[in-house]
Amino acid sequence: MVVEGIFLELSIVLLITAIFGFIMRWLKQPIILAYLLTGILISPSVLNIVSSGDALGALSSFGVALLLFMVGLNLNPKVVRESGIPSVLLASLQIVLTVAVSFFASFVLGYSLLASFYIAIALSFSSTIIILKLLADRGELQTLSGRIATGVLIVQDIVAVFLLIFLSGYSAQTNVLSFIATLLLRGFFLIAILFLIAHYFLPRVIRHVAKNQEFLLLFSLMWCFVVSSLFAMFELSIEIGALIAGVTLSVSHFRYEISSKMKPLRDFFLILFFVWLGLQVRVGMFISEWVSIVVFSFIAIFGHFIIIFLLMNVQSYTKRNSFLTALSLSQISEFSLIVAAIGVKNGHLTQDLLALLTIVALISFGVSSYFISHAGKLYHFFMPLLARFERRGKKVDDHHYAKGEEYDIILFGYNRIGFDLLESFHRIKKKFLIIDYNPDTIIKLSREGYDCKYGDASDLELLKDIDYTKVKMVISTIPELEVNLLIHQVVKEVNKDIITIAVSHQIDEATQLYAEGISYVIMPHFLGGHHAATMIEQYGFDVSKFLQEKISHLEHLQSRKQVGHTHPENHRNTHH
């Protein structure tokens, strides 16, 4: 009956989580909030419908181990190197300053030195899961602010991993120096053996194993659990073992297949982990601990924002990129809760403090998700205030390679469509300016001799800074209704005779663009069918004509491939 009882409770937990999941999707909030709210709802202070809390806690520990395994799987030297010196410097300074502010605030609020240290660490990291998901949904991972945020997250994750390695094996009764010595000796011995195995033995085994996808999943799980158990036998903790197990596989060519196979399993156990965290929360804490909740939430949201914005400002980034990067990093991390959970496990923290940090996570996740979703509008609202803090002089992210002459055409967004348009501009011998949000694209185009400028077409300040009086045509390849309407409005205020062309993937949006006065709307998904229909009408059953089209198309595809173009799987990700 014990098994049936646990199964029934788990079914109820998943049912409630799914209901909250629907609500979070409707509210456009991260799904992690659904997990935490489920835990609070079923906790003893609300419905009290779970009696198998210990079993849930045991199962949730698997989620932490699998999460660390996959973190290790992605800690590949190339990924670390690509984060770049600016991101490393920014993340390092941000962590140090946030820890200092959080530690001071915690100590003033009456927490012990050790508890203040844990709180400071927990408040210093930002959420990789939430930020990357929201930026990907908005198509902003390749923007400069998105790339800086990603680099900061990589550095934060590396720091968090080392802290977890230390904290997971350190108990209240342990002498710090002896623990570090033991950690280094035992850890070095085990890691050296594992990396020898990973270098000489694992590649051949994985090549054989990877021929069968189910066997690859089984082998990966086995490797994670065996290495974790080996580390536990050496008194170094399961968490360290899971992380190292992932790192040893990070150089494998099959790490992406392993990651994709393990992800659903990891996500299931992480659901249980976050539900278990919510289970620790007492509703009365919102009243009894309101001062700490307000202070820590302020640090997690606004403290992160202020510190990152000022650090980027000091490094001479534009106020827009400083604002957007800081806004996206303004919350605490899932790692923060794992650190706090390990603190409880080691006897350093109380369950109440873990519950308090869970409440802070709930608040910061919700508020920051709203901020990221409305980042453009918030920037325009605060732009006059931000201008007062912006450093004067040349900006490190102000890539402008234009001669300042008059242009016939302005192209917003050099992407798959822009590639073809440039060839047309050359044929009609018109002067044109390219504006794109990807700094790498701008640098590449400038080396090829094109006039171009770095910028985001949703930036009203950028749009109004351009002289449209002599421009004959403005083309936007950005498939976002609001951005295209903004561009059209700004250019028409200056030049009523200008031709405006936009891209859309939705019939209703294209109709609205036409209603607002856009000259022509490109609909890529329909153009292909229209082109094929036109060829059939013109060529009939003349095979030679189709072969000529085939040769021409293959040459065009090769030129596309050389510049790194791929066909988008989801048109919503084809941002400017």
Express each pLDDT in 257-305 by its tens digit.
888 888 888 888 878 888 887 887 888 888 888 999 999 999 999 999 9
Q: What angle do CA 109, 111, 113 make, to 5 degrees?
A: 125
Amino acid at position 454, single letter: Y
Residue 435's H or E segment, with its range, is strand 432-436
The answer to whether residue 395 is domain-embedded is: no
Range of the domain at 461: 400-573
- Cα–Cα distance measured from residue 534 to residue 462, given in angstroms and rounded to the nearest whole number: 40
Mean pLDDT of the chain: 80
Same structural domain for residues 375 and 489?
no
pLDDT tens-place string over residues 467-492: 888 888 898 988 888 889 999 999 98
Q: Is 253 helix (H, G, I), strand (E, B) or coil?
A: coil
The one-character DSSP state at 299 is I
Strands 400-401 and 452-454: antiparallel
Residue 574 has pLDDT above 70, yes or no: no
Q: Which two tokens stand for residue 236?
A: 């170094």
The answer to whether residue 410 is domain-embedded is: yes
- Secondary structure, 3-state, 384-401: HHHHCCCCCCCCCCCCEE
pLDDT tens-place string over residues 103-132: 999 999 999 998 999 999 999 999 877 787
Same structural domain for residues 421 and 378?
no
The one-character DSSP state at 571 is G
pLDDT score of 573: 41
Same structural domain for residues 146 and 218?
yes
Whole-angstrom CA distances from 291 to 109, 295, 299 are: 9, 6, 12
- Cα–Cα distance measured from residue 529 to residue 400, given in angstroms and rounded to the nearest whole number: 38
Same structural domain for residues 54 and 181?
yes
576 — pLDDT class (breaks 50, 70, 90): very low
Q: Which of 341, 358, 387 is the last residue of a domain?
A: 387
Same structural domain for residues 378 and 409?
no
Residue 76 has pLDDT above 70, yes or no: no
- The structural domain count of the chain equals 2
Maximum distance among all Cα pairs of the chain, rounded to whole angstroms: 86
For 225, phi then psi, to 5°, come to: -75, -40
Residue 213's H or E segment, with its range, is helix 213-233
Same structural domain for residues 303 and 186?
yes
The answer to whether residue 471 is domain-embedded is: yes
The answer to whether residue 278 is domain-embedded is: yes
Q: Which of 320, 354, 387 is the last residue of a domain?
A: 387
Same structural domain for residues 24 and 156?
yes
Residue 79's H or E segment, with its range, is helix 77-82
Same structural domain for residues 276 and 244?
yes
Whether the CA torsion 178, 181, 184, 185 is positive or negative: it is negative
pLDDT tens-place string over residues 142-173: 777 888 888 888 888 778 877 876 776 555 55
139 contacts 114 by C-beta, under 8 angstroms: no
Same structural domain for residues 214 and 356?
yes
- Cα–Cα distance measured from residue 331 to residue 153, given in angstroms and rounded to the nearest whole number: 12
Same structural domain for residues 380 and 443?
no
The answer to whether residue 418 is domain-embedded is: yes
The answer to whether residue 74 is domain-embedded is: yes
pLDDT score of 572: 40
Same structural domain for residues 482 and 375?
no
- Which strands make up the sheet holding 409-412, listed edge to edge? 400-401, 452-454, 432-436, 409-412, 473-476, 499-503, 520-522
pLDDT score of 333: 86
The CATH number assigned to the domain holding 456 equals 3.40.50.720
Average pLDDT over residues 226-233: 83
- Cα–Cα distance measured from residue 272 to residue 275, given in angstroms and rounded to the nearest whole number: 5
pLDDT score of 274: 82
Q: Which of 335, 352, 387 is the last residue of a domain?
A: 387
Same structural domain for residues 280 and 421?
no
pLDDT score of 116: 92
- Cα–Cα distance measured from residue 46 to residue 281, given in angstroms and rounded to the nearest whole number: 10
From first CA to last CA, the distance across the chain in angstroms is 58
pTM recorded for the entire structure: 0.71
Torsion-angle region of 415 (φ positive above 0: left; ψ -120 to 50: alpha; else: beta): beta
The CATH number assigned to the domain holding 26 equals 1.20.1530.20
Whether the CA torsion 512, 516, 520, 524 is positive or negative: it is negative
Average pLDDT over residues 66-86: 67
Nearest Cα to 83, choosing from 39, 27, 128? 128
Residue 575 has pLDDT above 60, yes or no: no
The answer to whether residue 394 is domain-embedded is: no
Q: Which two tokens stand for residue 170?
A: 């350190």
Whole-angstrom CA distances from 300 to 50, 127, 168, 219, 440 are: 31, 11, 23, 39, 32
Average pLDDT over residues 511-535: 79
The answer to whether residue 393 is domain-embedded is: no
Amino acid at position 313, single letter: N
Nearest Cα to 419, choosing from 233, 558, 521? 558
Residue 528 has pLDDT above 70, yes or no: no
